[in-house]
């Protein structure tokens, strides 16, 4: 009897051991590779490279272990980390979690976090571009220079609801408008440029690079009551550009200069070929064609050393008669800055008209070429300028 009792006790103990073992399973740890749910304590997410043992999460259901990371199919717990070396192959430590190496538009901390042919700029994996068409795979981005101006990249525009807002104050008799300053209709730290009486006036602010501004703006020095200040200003006709996105309205194009005059691209403005007055003085409304190698539009395909697209809808833009927006500094050559007209003879870049050009100092009309007059441009400076302000066809005023 004693033997039977002893045998029964041994059998019961063995059964207890077996039963207790049935209730415990060694699951793979969070973030481990997997192919099916049975290997994980909760879920094997096979949508991640190599499969990942994970758990779903959100604001109401935080992770018991790891970091909750949101993807297109929801939030998932991933291992916490401080360095890429803590993550398995194919994964990188991004924003404190071991997550799959990022594709275009996804977040990153450095270049190692991004996939093939991608770079990490401004916390996002991106790639180079030559036009907005190259950014189709990155919704919400456009082709622009980055903050360090190292080239053209697909990047999102800055988000600033106060920048570029109209601040025009109509000239009406209204007690509420009396005494308004030029910045009264703009947010704090913003100014109304150029002034509220201008119908095109808009709110702007200080900047360091073009990336501080909206896509169609540039960081330029402007004259203020406090002297020259770098501010975001809209790109206008003849401003340098890299892509169409940087120019004025959606119909304005980035035009390539005549190669013999300049290699620069510049912003133009859309025009009506039946209404010549829609273009600035000394420019002509011409049909333009897209040159793929220059990433710009040209009025003559001989200006293009690659594919020149002549099909598609007709596009008309204003093109300088000179063929470029900057010249050699001689009398009546186009210019943007005073330095471009300094040939040692006291030349001046006259920008107060709708066509900017270089002048030449004089004391009387006789010192100017035919069709030019000696004109006082202010500050006791007399300069030779076209009598009719046209460098294309200069004519002296009729006596």
pLDDT of residue 241: 87
Query: Is residue 300 scored above 80 in pLDDT?
Result: yes
Domain boundaries in the chain?
A: 29-100, 244-320, 326-399
Nearest alpha carbon to residue 217 among 228, 230, 229: 230
Residue 196: which pLDDT band, with cuts at 50, 70 and 90? Answer: confident
Mean pLDDT (whole number) for 304-318? 92
Tell me the C-alpha distance between 73 and 275, whole Å: 54
pTM to 2 decimals?
0.63
Mean pLDDT, all residues of the chain:
86
If pLDDT is split at 50, 70 and 90, which confidence band does 9 have? low
- The pLDDT tens digits of the residues spanning 350-368 come to 987 888 999 999 999 999 9
Q: Which of 130, 54, 141 is nearest to 98 (CA)?
A: 54
Residue 336 — very low, low, confident or very high, per pLDDT cuts 50/70/90? confident
pLDDT of 10 strictly over 80? no
Average pLDDT over residues 119-148: 87
For residue 183, pLDDT over 70 is answered with no
pLDDT tens digits along 54-111: 999 999 999 999 999 999 899 999 999 999 999 999 999 999 999 999 999 999 999 8
pLDDT of residue 148 exceeding 80, the answer is no
Which residue is associated with the tokens 């007209």? 341
Average pLDDT over residues 124-153: 84
Residue 20 pLDDT grade (very low, low, confident, very high; cuts 50, 70, 90): very low
In angstroms, the CA 65 to CA 22 distance is 25
- The helix or strand, by DSSP H or E, that contains position 6, with its residue range, turns out to be helix 2-22
> What is the model's pLDDT at position 114?
93
Query: Comparing C-alpha atoms, which of 173, 180, 175 is closest to residue 201?
Result: 180
Predicted confidence at residue 377, as pLDDT, reads 84
For residue 134, pLDDT over 60 is answered with yes
Q: What is the pLDDT of residue 223?
A: 76
The tens digit of pLDDT for each residue in 204-243 reads 999 998 889 988 888 888 877 777 899 999 888 998 888 8
Q: Could you tell me what percent of the chain has a pLDDT over 90?
A: 56
DSSP for 117-163, please give it.
T-EEETTEEE-B-SSGGGGTTSTT-EEEE-TT--SEEEEPPP--TTT
**Has residue 180 got a pLDDT over 60?**
no
């Amino acid at each position: 009897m004693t033997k039977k009792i002893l045998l029964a006790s041994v059998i019961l103990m063995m059964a207890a051991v077996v039963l207790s073992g049935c209730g415990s399973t060694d699951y793979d740890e969070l973030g481990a590779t997997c192919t099916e749910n049975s290997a994980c304590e909760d879920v094997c997410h096979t949508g991640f490279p190599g499969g990942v043992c994970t758990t779903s999460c959100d604001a109401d259901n935080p992770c018991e272990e790891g970091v909750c990371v949101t993807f297109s199919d929801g939030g998932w717990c991933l291992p916490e980390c401080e360095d890429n070396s803590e993550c398995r192959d194919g994964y990188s430590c991004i924003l404190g979690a071991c997550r799959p190496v990022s594709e275009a538009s996804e977040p990153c901390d450095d270049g190692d976090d991004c996939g093939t042919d991608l770079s990490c700029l401004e916390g996002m994996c991106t790639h180079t571009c030559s036009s907005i068409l190259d950014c189709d795979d990155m919704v919400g981005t456009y082709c622009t220079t980055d903050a360090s101006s190292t080239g053209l990249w697909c990047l999102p525009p800055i988000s600033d609801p106060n920048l570029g807002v109209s601040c025009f104050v109509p000239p009406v008799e209204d007690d509420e408008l009396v005494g308004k300053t030029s910045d009264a209709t703009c947010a704090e730290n913003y100014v109304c440029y150029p002034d509220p009486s201008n119908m095109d006036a808009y709110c702007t602010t200080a900047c360091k690079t073009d990336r501080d501004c909206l896509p169609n703006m540039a960081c330029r020095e402007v004259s203020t009551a406090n002297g020259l200040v770098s501010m975001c200003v809209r790109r206008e006709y003849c401003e340098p550009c890299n892509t169409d996105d940087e120019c004025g309205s959606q119909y304005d194009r980035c035009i390539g200069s005549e190669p013999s005059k300049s290699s620069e691209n510049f912003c133009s403005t859309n025009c009506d070929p039946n209404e010549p007055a829609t273009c600035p003085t000394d420019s002509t409304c011409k049909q333009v064609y897209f040159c793929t190698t220059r990433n710009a539009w040209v009025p003559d395909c001989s200006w293009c050393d690659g594919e020149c697209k002549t099909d598609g809808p007709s596009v008309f833009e204003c093109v300088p008669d000179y063929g470029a927006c900057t010249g050699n500094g001689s009398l009546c050559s186009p210019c943007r800055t005073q330095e471009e007209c300094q040939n040692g003879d006291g030349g001046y870049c006259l920008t107060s008209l709708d066509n900017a050009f270089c002048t030449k100092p004089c004391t009387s009309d006789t010192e100017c070429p035919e069709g030019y007059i000696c004109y006082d441009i202010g500050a006791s400076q007399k300069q030779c300028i076209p009598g009719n302000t046209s460098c294309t066809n200069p004519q002296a005023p009729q006596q």
